[in-house]
Structure 1
Amino acid sequence: MTLASYACDPALSRGRRYPEPAAPTRSDFQRDRDRIVHSTAFRRLVYKTQVFLNHEGDLFRTRLTHSLEVAQLGRSIARTLRLNEDLVEAIALAHDLGHTPFGHAGQDALNACLKAHKPESAGFEHNLQSLRVVDALEERYPAYNGLNLTFETREGILKHCSRRNARHIEAREPGGVARRFVEQAAAGPHWLQPSLEAQLTNLADEIAYNAHDIDDGVRSGLLSLEQLDDVALFSRYRRETLLTHPGLQGRRLLFETIRRMLSAQVYDVIDATRLALQKAAPADVQAVRQHAALVCFSSQMALQSSSLKRFLLQNLYRHPQVVETTQAAKQVIRDLFEAYMADPAQLPQAHIDRFDGIDVPHAAGAKPERVVADYIAGMTDRFAAKEHERLKGRAAFPA
């Protein structure tokens, strides 16, 4: 397939932080993908959860299955739009590497711990943590820390970043992946944008988690098909399914409805993005970065997607059963942070060796609280629960 002029061409990549010779059989973006798949952090995603914690069942989504779904959706759309599929896949597989155990509950708790320990702390941002993982925390190569990924993959991983943390990164990497967050004040009403491949992965992420959270919510018994009939995006395709397959029930009805809903969103993104690209006519990747976001839903689909997200927030993420479990998970994170800060000897020696007083968001060395946060963020759900039981002498999630 011939790439569009505004797609990221690996031959024109802005390169790696540490120059390396090209691989004989793979492009730089394919090589990034392979490094991510072989990383320790990627393997851990199989035991890091989305909404339902690891001990609650084997069939709920994990960060790993979610990342694979994002990659599949992203590649399908990228192929049609003549964007770089390999770059989309690399970003998709890496975008959640920095997530804590216990989903967003763990992230919120760890951020609060850092802020409480030191109010001036940069806190915890999972997108920034994903960048830390690939830039510094993975230890696989003799010449450098991290995976030494290309600029374009790293740019896509850093989906969000506070201005403060962006300035820290910019100081160490002038003109690098954080520049667009630093320059935002002069950018007018729109954020400076990353590549189309990064924009696409961001939207594929949203499409994927909305769909699979419906599936997991119904599987758990916390959501019903009757409740979901209040959501226009779902009820439309449920009605279509029943018109085509009268009498269909149960999981087959749910799966077919979600399948149609996913397809509709994918085709909508393709059509809306094509229209946006025709109007903007960006000549190259740099023109894309200077323009408002071009990968998008149509206005109607954007409203329906937002409505679905509100429904899931109110009826699933804030469900009393989910809240009860996530409160227990937050306590695990708080207890672990306090225990390691009070007695750093409880940490593995390799982490203690990283104490060197440097407090830069993606430096290899860090102050003790950042090393503790790195260690906790890298845990799986079940390891965090087991470590909590070792340190506190009680099970956080009684059977």
Structure 2
Amino acid sequence: MLIDRERLLEEEAQRLAPYAQKARDTRGRQHPEPESPYRTPYQKDRDRILHTTAFRRLEYKTQVFPNWAGDYYRTRLTHTLEVVQVARSIARALGLNEDLTEAIALSHDLGHPPFGHTGEKVLNGLMQGHGGFEHNAQALRILTELEVRYPSFQGLNLTYEVLEGIATHEAAYDTGFKAEYPGKGTLEAQVVDLSDAIAYAAHDLDDGLRSGLLRPEELTEVPFLQELAQEEGLDLSRLTELSRRILVRQLLGFLITAAIEAIHQEVERAGVRSAEEVRRHSQRLARLTPEAEQAHQELKGFLRERFYRHPEVLRERRKAEIVLEQLFHTYTRYPEILPKEVQARIPKGGLERAVCDYIAGMTDRYALEAYRKLFP
């Protein structure tokens, strides 16, 4: 039996919920091109993203711990894969388009520079007066301009809905690049947003405990975690490796279930019957139940105070700040030492933007090596 694109599109339209974004209803690509005979447009987008240089580099970009801190801590790549898992689980339960959800999730962090959010903060400060820096906007630049893989256009020529999913990321603090993507985004995009928050709360807790920077007894400061541990018969004062895994697994399961139930209730209450109605709705529909949202906020506050501001983490952040600031100032002062392909972009976007793109594309270890070559 041969299943071609037309059959895939037909089956998808029959199977998905009314409010889901169907691939047959895509607004298309900026540059017309033939579609795959055996893949839907969103499947094609997903595959293109997986083969990018930017996606491979995520393996060596910081989540919380830099890549060299240990083999078992999350990197930006493994974080992305966990977001994909959470998002697809939620999308499947709600009758959403899993292929679109996966494509957005795979690309949502492509614009992150080395050293995680610290790198983003540093580059944004350095680029004040030159357009700033924001990782969602950078992801769009990568996908529409910087990844060059086709002779007839720049970027990957992805569908409108995948690019919209990046542009409507709720956490974006710079909204200047969103003008082309009005509205709240598809429900698939909103689910990726929520899945991002769910995934990093759970795996950052796991990494913090594994590293020893978080002590198990400190978890008693989070009432929800204490309740969850009691339900599972776990003693937080003596948290073994197995019990830590059980705790994190149950935390993920609780948040995913809460997301599915809350989104279903919001969709029913809103009465949306199409993806366009989701976009135009007065508020975003992807959220947690009130109980889960309170628990999530408690956990985020705990991680912020006890983990993200731990002296060991802050020390690595300060090192990252020094490296990126020195690289930026050196490259903008001596652009002749930049690679030729980077110099070629200067006339179009300006020196600072060319340098920023170059640094943002670096992995942690490449940035450190570049620093060592300049400042032995």
TM-score (norm. length: structure 1): 0.87
Partner of residue 228, structure 2: 237
Partner of residue 302, structure 1: 293
Q: SS where residue 198 of structure 1 aligns?
A: helix
Partner of residue 360, structure 1: none
Partner of residue 61, structure 1: 74
1:16–1:150 CA contact under 8 A, matched in 2: yes
Unmatched 5+ residue regions in structure 1? 171-175, 181-191, 357-364, 394-399
Runs of 4+ in structure 1 off by over 4 angstroms are 245-249
Cα deviation, 1:38-96, whole Å, max 9, x if unaligned, reads 00000000000111112211211011100000001111110110000011110111000
2:147–2:155 CA contact under 8 A, matched in 1: yes
Picking from 174, 193, 203, the partner of 1:162 is 174
Partner of residue 90, structure 1: 103
Q: Give, in angstroms, the shift of residue 247 of structure 1.
A: 11
Cα distance change of structure 1 residues 163 and 69 upon mapping to structure 2, 3 Å threshold: closer
CA distance in 1 between partners of 2:173 and 2:159 (Å)? 19
CA distance in 1 between partners of 2:224 and 2:138 (Å)? 33
Partner of residue 10, structure 1: 23
1:107–1:126 CA contact under 8 A, matched in 2: yes
Q: Which amino acid aligns with 2:17?
A: A
1:204-223 matches, within 5 Å, as: 204-223=195-214
Unmatched 5+ residue regions in structure 2? 1-11
Q: Give, in angstroms, the shift of residue 307 of structure 1.
A: 1.2
Partner of residue 369, structure 1: 352
1:166-177 matches, within 5 Å, as: 166=178, 170=179, 176-177=180-181
Partner of residue 203, structure 1: 194
Q: Give, in angstroms, the shift of residue 163 of structure 1.
A: 4.0
Q: Which amino acid aligns with 1:306?
A: Q
Q: Which amino acid aligns with 2:153?
A: Y
Question: How many matched pairs?
Answer: 359
2:350 paired with 1:342: no
Q: Percent identity?
A: 45
Partner of residue 159, structure 2: 150
1:233–1:261 CA contact under 8 A, matched in 2: no
1:307-322 matches, within 5 Å, as: 307-322=298-313
2:107–2:139 CA contact under 8 A, matched in 1: yes
TM-score (norm. length: structure 2): 0.92
Comparing 154-163 with 371-380, greater Cα deviation is found at: 154-163
CA RMSD across the alignment: 1.6
1:32-111 matches, within 5 Å, as: 32-111=45-124
CA distance in 1 between partners of 2:59 and 2:109 (Å)? 11
Q: Give, in angstroms, the shift of residue 22 of structure 1.
A: 1.6
CA distance in 1 between partners of 2:236 and 2:68 (Å)? 37
Q: SS where residue 35 of structure 2 aligns?
A: coil
